[in-house]
Structure 1
Amino acid sequence: MNHAIGTLRRGALVALLFTLLAGCATTAANRPAPDVPARHTAAEFRDLRIAYEPDPWEGFNRSMYQFNYYLDHYLFLPVVHGYEFITPVFVQDRVSDFFNNLGEIKNLTNSVLQLKGGETGHTLARFLTNSTVGLGGLFDPATTWGLERRPEDFGLTLARWGVASGNYLVLPVFGPSSARDAGGLAVDGGISYGIYTLADPFRSLDESFTIEAGVATLDAIDTRHQIPFRYFESGYPFEYEMVRFFTRERRELATKK
């Protein structure tokens, strides 16, 4: 019964989050774009390929890109900066290594689904090494020993089996993506949730929901902490177009590995 109540609470929390995001997106769409430092001019980009990338959902995408800026600037980054200020770098690194090690389960699952035998063995060896010698993933000796991280996701799995990327899409919170990768993100999230539900190390505790929410929050803070990208800090008047172009190029290269 307690587990069922916890599931209902998580569902309600997710529903509330998306309701708030929808309202905030509408508000952000009506705000003026942030000022871009005039370090570059439009003439530099007039004939570049970035201006001609297909973007059928551009109106929505630009609004969402701007919404993500405000969410990042006024919520995520202040929290991340506070976390970085009060947390010693050594502890930050241990948190990052721990969550990165958990992420190897997603990498392993998708390597299997893509029938990549070598990648599967490599990722499994990395996960087992860091989970044992690395004290439950708190350290990353695998990288030192030549077992570097090889990210995989269900979007790449779909690409492996011939699914086209589809239209460019800027997601709330998650940022630049595509129709295919958005679907892949949902599947990866479902797989991770399913695995966690089966394990659920906090199931027997009275405050299991509070603990789970705290772990999820720390995971979100650490994820943003590890991403150096900042919206509207490039100084380019066509940052949106550049991000769109490089997002597509990066994913295209990733599908050819």
Structure 2
Amino acid sequence: MMRRSTLIKIVFVLLLGIIFQGCASQPRQEKIIPPEYSLSEIPESKELPILDIYDPLEPFNRAVYLFNYQFDKYIFLPVVNTYEFITPDLIEKGISNFFSNIGEISNFTNTLLQLKFLRALKTATRFVVNSTVGIAGIWDPATRLGFFQHREDFGQTLGYYGLGSGPYLVLPIVGPSNLRDTTGLFADSLVFNTIAFDLWEISEFQPPFYFVRTIDQRHRASFRYYETGSPFEYDLIRLLYLKVREAEISK
């Protein structure tokens, strides 16, 4: 039989080989360079895009942001979770398609105001196809036919004609916005109410319509407050919102 000391030596050599093999297979780690400045120590000569945003109402906006978080956590999301629990996925999809189709009214109006006539024609075609073949927009056959949705709102229309964004705003429940987009939001609502409720004489359905649409919009939004893992979430969301709006206006 193999002597005990010889067995120990073999095991030791094998373990040593495994250790060296593991070390050799580890990727070379880059040297971590600490940040040159903290946010409170940034010299005036340094540019930091995340802070270079016109936000004169920041204390108010941060308070509203916190309110939105509390509202979302204790009221909005529980209602949305209940809606998702009791509503089959197929019906949820149909409801989302219906409200998306209704939104073509705003898309068409603002595309026309921006003189994008070919896109306006495609939007109108999409609305007609989904409203008829798609049964009031519950189904979306227009997308399969190549008529894709192009979202436009009056805030984008104002930006298209060169109006600046103005001060950054956080609206209760709605979330990130700015003075231009808030103005556009009210304008779009006015146009929609005139066409969808007053013209069709169905104003009695306005409160339940907006309630269900709001629930559907939150259902489709994946964002959750304070899940970014960043202590500067307010600043990041503010920057992201403005950059996305710039991209939407320039498209």
Pair in the same fold by TM > 0.5:
yes
Residue in structure 2 matched with residue 225 of structure 1 by the alignment: 219
Q: Residue deviations 1:209-241, cap 9 Å, x none? A: 4x5432321111111111111111111111100
CA–CA distance in 2 between the matches of 1:197 and 1:233?
Answer: 41
- Distance apart, 1:243 and its partner CA: 0.4
Counterpart residue identity of residue 199, structure 2: L
Which residues of 2 match residues 153-192 of structure 1 at below 5 A?
153-192=153-192
> Higher RCO, 1 or 2 (CA under 8 Å, sep at least 6)?
1
Q: Look up the SS of the partner of 2:177 in the other structure.
A: strand
Asked if 1:112 is matched to 2:112, the reply is: yes
| Map of 1:151 onto structure 2 | 151
Over residues 111-164 of structure 1, what are the superposed CA-to-partner deviations in whole Å (9 max), with x where a residue is unaligned?
111111121011111111111111110001111222111100000111122211
1:237 to 224, 228, 231: 231
User: 1:53, 1:163 → 2: CA distance?
Assistant: 16
Of all paired residues, the percent bearing the same amino acid is 45
Is 1:92 paired with 2:92?
yes
After TM superposition, list the pairs within 5 Å mapping 1:13-92 onto structure 2. Answer: 49-92=49-92
Per mean C-alpha deviation after superposition, the further-off stretch among 96-105 and 223-232 is 223-232
Unaligned runs of 5+ in 2: 1-33, 43-47
Give the deviation of 1:178 after TM superposition: 0.7
Give deviations 1:25-46, integer Å, cap 9, x for gaps.
Answer: xxxxxxxxxxxxxxxxx95985
Question: What is residue 23 of structure 2 aligned with on the other side?
Answer: none
Unaligned runs of 5+ in 1: 1-41, 204-208
Question: What is the SS of the residue equivalent to 2:72?
Answer: helix
Matches of 1:215 and 1:193, distance apart in 2: 11
- Distance in 2 (CA, whole Å) between partners of 1:45 and 1:132 is 58
Residue of structure 2 in register with 1:197 after alignment: 198
One-letter amino acid of the counterpart of residue 49, structure 2: R
TM-score (norm 2): 0.79
Deviations 1:81-139 (A, max 9, x none): 00000000000000000011000001001111111112101111111111111111000
> CA RMSD, aligned part only?
1.9
Partner SS, residue 50 of structure 2: helix
For 1:163-184, what per-residue CA distance to the aligned partner results, in whole angstroms no more than 9, with x for missing partners? 1111111111111011100000
Give the whole-Å Cα distance in 1 for the aligned partners of 2:52 and 2:181: 21
Between the aligned partners of 1:134 and 1:45, the Cα distance in structure 2 is 55
Q: Using a 3 Å threshold, how does the CA distance of structure 1 residues 45 and 244 change in structure 2: closer, same or farther?
A: farther
Distance 1:45 1:107, change over 3 A: farther
Aligned pair in 2 of structure 1 residues 59, 152: CA closer, same or farther (>3 Å)?
Answer: same
Deviating runs (4+, > 3 A) in structure 1? 42-48
Partner of 2:242: 248
Distance (whole Å) between structure 1 residues aligned to residue 232 and residue 38 of structure 2: 8
Q: Which amino acid aligns with 2:116?
A: K
8 Å contact kept, 2:97–2:138: yes
Matches of 1:217 and 1:45, distance apart in 2: 44
